[in-house]
Each structure stands twice: as C-alpha cells, then as structure tokens.
C-alpha cells in the first residue's frame, strides 16, 4: 500500500517532512504547496535540499484540492481553519503540527471542522513534539508503568539561540525587549492554545477532574551583559530568557504541570537561570509509584547554532509517520487517544 502525500509549506518542518516522505516505504510525494511566490514552480525535492522529485510547487489551494492524494502534511507558519476545512472536504486526510491535538469538542469551530472532515470522508490529526508528543503522547504511554499517579510534569529546556528567525524571535517572542514590553507578548496566548489541549488530554486520560481555573504563568530573565545571538546582540537589561507554565489542579493541588524554558543560556541572566548539567532536553517526570522520570536528548542541535534544522526533524517525522495510521482512521478528528501506536520505519529497502 502506498499513500499519496502532499506537503503544505516548505519551511523548516516542511523540508524535513519532504525528506521523511521520500524515505518512508509506504509514502509517495505527489504535491507541494508553497507560500512564497519565489518558490512557485520549483521542484519540491530541491526546495528541501535533496534531489529533484518531479513534483512542482504551487500556491493554489484549488490545484491542491484537485490532486488525487490521500493526505496533506499541513505545516504553514499560520494555520487557517478555512484551508484545513477545504482540504478535508476535498477528501484529503490532514496531519499537522499547528494545532488540533485535543480540540475542545464543545467548541462550535471544532464541530464545523469535524463536519468538514466527515463530509470529505477524511481525518484531521494534530501532532508535533511540544506540544504533540512530549506533553501528552509519551507521558500517557509511560503512565501505564505507574500506579497512584499524583502529579506529572512535562518540561522543555531549549536554547533560543538555535532559532535564527529574527522577526519571530525579536518581534513576536519579544526577546531583546524590556521586560514590561515582553510581558504583553502574545506568546502566552498562542502557546496556551496548544499546551492546554495537551494538559486536558492528560487529565482526561488519567482521570483527573481538574478545577475550573488552570494556572498560566509567564516569567522572564534579563541579560546582565550584552549576549551575542543569531538575531543580533541582546542588550543588558532586556529579555534573554522566558519561562511559560501551565498547571492543572484538583481541589487546589497541582496534578499536571507543563513548562517551557527558553533561555539564551550563556551564564549571564538575572535571575540566574541555567539549564545546568542536563543541557538542552525535554523531561517527563511522575510523582507516582514508581517515581518514573525520563529525559529526552538528541532532539536539539548538538552544537549551538549549527544544523539547527535538527530540532525540526522530530516534529516533522511525527507528522510523516502518522500518515498511514491517519489515512486508515475513521473520518473526523483523531487524537492519540483514537489512533493505534504510531511508529517510525526502517530504511527503504
Ligand atoms: N507542535 C510542534 O511541536 C511544532 C514544532 C515545530 C513547528 N511547529 C509549527 O509548525 C509550523 C511550521 O514551522 P516551521 O519551523 O516550518 O516554520 P517556518 O520555517 O517559519 O516555515 C513556515 C512556512 O509557512 C509559509 N508561510 C510564511 N508566511 C506565511 C503566511 N503568512 N501564511 C501561510 N504560510 C506562510 C512559508 O512557506 P513556504 O516556505 O513554502 O513559502 C514558510 O516557510 C509553525 O506553525 C510552527 O509553530 C510545531
């Protein structure tokens, strides 16, 4: 069985996904959507930095919908509900790292998207890594080894100097701005849309009935001297580290904590935050019997600022490897709780 796949957008994730599709024994790339005009008509393989694949990029949603394909890996910078609904209605399954990990089924928009999927006899699956792996799929798998689970923590420690997107790092994430400016960052809201879905999936699967109020917290540290970064110098006194926390409680007692630590960790921060000896990593830790703790290494570039696309391989592959399972799923929205175990593949023979 070969599944015919379209790659939607060729940013970091899209390029890693194209490489993954080509190497997956059950997948074939048959289409490619691009945002930038300069990429229209170019070969998808070349856009991904590999050999030409004979698949030319288009920026037309209509052309993509008209293609004979089983699935779209949808990884634009900004997701658009209308695009996703059109893709689903055209009969394409959609796998994406930009949302829908555990959408609120009481939400009108969710119901409309689900209706579009059912109309097209297609399935939508949200995945990724954080959220979309570390924050719900892996802790839930690991939870099966524990009893009496009192608390579970999922936490990211990443050096933001691996992210060279100046516009996003400075103007959206507000690194290098005074703390009072960064305090108004839209990031807490943007991130909450994803991480709170993970938190609720974990709560529902483990059987925690959460208090109505979920804690969301945004903390910052400033540079104590100018810090060199790929987006320019971060001046002393401006934001060089941010920590976002989401916490669900039962009767006021925290039971689930999700945290993101983004540091420019050169040892000159106030407060003096540091990754410590563990370095860049993801952690999942249970207060349970046994007190299971797992640390994930290898998901960050090994050398700061070099081969930074390594950090996007895992979220891209989580999408790619999900394709065969999503194509076989019942129409609608399918979360990790609905799909069988998603696995990677041995190299193509
Ligand atoms: N859940 C997770 O764990 C996870 C992990 C990583 C990334 N993500 C998400 O995945 C998405 C893609 O990430 P990325 O690293 O590939 O980002 P990226 O390198 O910035 O690429 C995104 C692509 O989106 C297209 N684009 C640019 N402006 C656009 C606009 N105004 N409207 C629609 N598309 C536009 C461009 O496509 P072309 O280059 O084809 O023109 C661009 O390359 C992001 O939303 C990111 O937040 C999620």
Q: What angle do CA 212, 217, 218 make, to 5 degrees?
A: 155
Q: Could you read off the pLDDT tens digit of each residue along the chain, which spans 349 residues?
A: 899 999 999 999 999 999 999 999 999 999 999 999 999 999 999 999 999 999 999 999 999 999 999 999 999 998 999 999 999 999 999 999 999 999 999 999 999 999 999 999 999 999 999 999 999 999 999 999 999 999 999 999 999 999 888 888 999 889 999 999 999 888 899 999 999 999 999 999 999 999 999 999 999 999 999 999 999 999 999 999 999 999 999 999 999 999 999 999 889 999 999 999 999 999 999 999 999 999 999 999 988 888 888 899 999 999 999 999 999 999 999 999 999 999 999 988 8
State if residue 218 touches ligand 1 by the CB under 6 angstroms criterion. no
| pLDDT for position 25 | 97
- The finding on whether 106 has its CB within 6 A of some atom of ligand 1 is no
Q: What is the pLDDT of residue 222?
A: 98
Q: Identify the CATH homologous superfamily for domain 3-129+313-333.
A: NAD(P)-binding Rossmann-like Domain (3.40.50.720)
Please name the residue whose Cα sits nearest to atom 27 of ligand 1: 77
Which of 12, 13, 83 best tests ligand 1's pocket when mutated (most atoms within 8 Å of CB)? 13
Atom of ligand 1 nearest to the CA of 10: 40
User: Is there an atom of ligand 1 within 6 Å of 131 CB?
Assistant: yes
- Verify whether ligand 1 is closer than 6 Å to residue 75 (CB atom): yes
Say which residue the tokens 């609904």 belong to: 85
Ligand 1: centre distance to CA 13 (Å) = 7
The pLDDT of residue 349 is 80
Burial (CB count <10 Å: 0-12, 13-18, 19+), residue 183: middle
Domain map of the chain by residue range? Answer: 3-129+313-333, 137-298
Asked whether the CA dihedral 311, 312, 315, 318 is positive or negative, the reply is: negative
Sign of CA dihedral 64, 324, 55, 9: positive
Atom of ligand 1 nearest to the CA of 76: 24
CA dihedral 317, 322, 323, 328 (to 10 degrees): 170
Q: What SS3 state is found at 44?
A: helix
pLDDT of residue 293: 98
Whether residue 129 has its Cβ less than 6 Å from ligand 1:
yes
Query: Measuring from atom 31 of ligand 1, which residue has the nearest CA?
Result: 78
- 75 CA → ligand 1 middle, Å: 5
Question: Rounded to whole angstroms, what are the CA distances from 142 to 135, 138, 139, 294, 310?
Answer: 12, 6, 5, 9, 25
Do 10 and 48 meet the contact criterion of CB atoms below 8 Å apart?
yes
Residue 299: CB atoms within 10 A of its CB come to 20
Q: What is the pLDDT of residue 19?
A: 98
Give the tokens for residue 289: 């019997």
Return the pLDDT at 279: 95
Q: What is the C-alpha separation between 32 and 8, in angstroms, rounded? A: 6
pLDDT of residue 187: 86
């Amino acid at each position: 069985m070969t599944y015919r796949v379209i790659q939607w957008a060729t940013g970091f994730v899209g390029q890693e996904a194209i490489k993954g599709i080509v190497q997956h024994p059950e997948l074939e790339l048959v289409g490619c959507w691009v945002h930038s005009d300069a990429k229209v008509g170019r070969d998808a393989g070349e856009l991904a930095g590999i050999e030409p694949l004979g698949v030319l990029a288009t920026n037309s949603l209509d052309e993509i919908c008209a293609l004979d394909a089983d699935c779209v890996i949808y990884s634009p910078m900004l997701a658009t509900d209308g695009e996703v609904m059109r893709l689903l209605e055209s009969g394409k399954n959609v796998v994406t790292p930009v949302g829908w990990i555990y959408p609120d089924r009481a939400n009108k928009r969710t119901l409309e998207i689900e209706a579009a999927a059912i109309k097209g006899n297609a399935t939508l699956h949200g995945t990724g890594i954080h959220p979309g792996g570390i924050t719900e799929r892996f802790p839930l798998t690991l939870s099966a080894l524990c009893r009496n689970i009192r608390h579970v923590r999922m936490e990211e420690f990443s050096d933001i100097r691996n992210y060279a997107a100046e516009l996003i790092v400075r103007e959206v994430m507000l690194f290098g701005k005074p703390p009072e400016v960064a305090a108004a960052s839209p990031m807490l809201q943007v991130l909450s849309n994803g991480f709170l879905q993970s938190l609720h999936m974990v709560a529902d699967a483990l059987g925690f009935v959460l208090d109505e109020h979920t804690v969301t917290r945004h903390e910052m540290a400033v540079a104590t001297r100018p810090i060199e970064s790929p987006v320019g110098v971060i001046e002393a006194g401006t934001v060089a580290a941010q920590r976002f926390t989401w916490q669900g409680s039962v009767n006021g007692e925290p039971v689930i904590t999700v945290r993101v630590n983004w540091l420019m960790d050169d040892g000159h921060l106030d407060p003096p935050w540091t990754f410590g000896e563990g370095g860049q990593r993801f952690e999942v830790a249970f207060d349970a019997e046994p007190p299971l703790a797992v640390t994930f290494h290898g998901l960050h570039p090994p050398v700061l600022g070099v081969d930074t696309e390594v950090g996007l391989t895992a979220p891209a592959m989580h999408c790619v490897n999900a394709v065969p399972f999503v194509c076989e799923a019942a129409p609608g929205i399918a979360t990790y709780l609905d799909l069988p175990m998603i696995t990677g593949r041995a190299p193509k023979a």
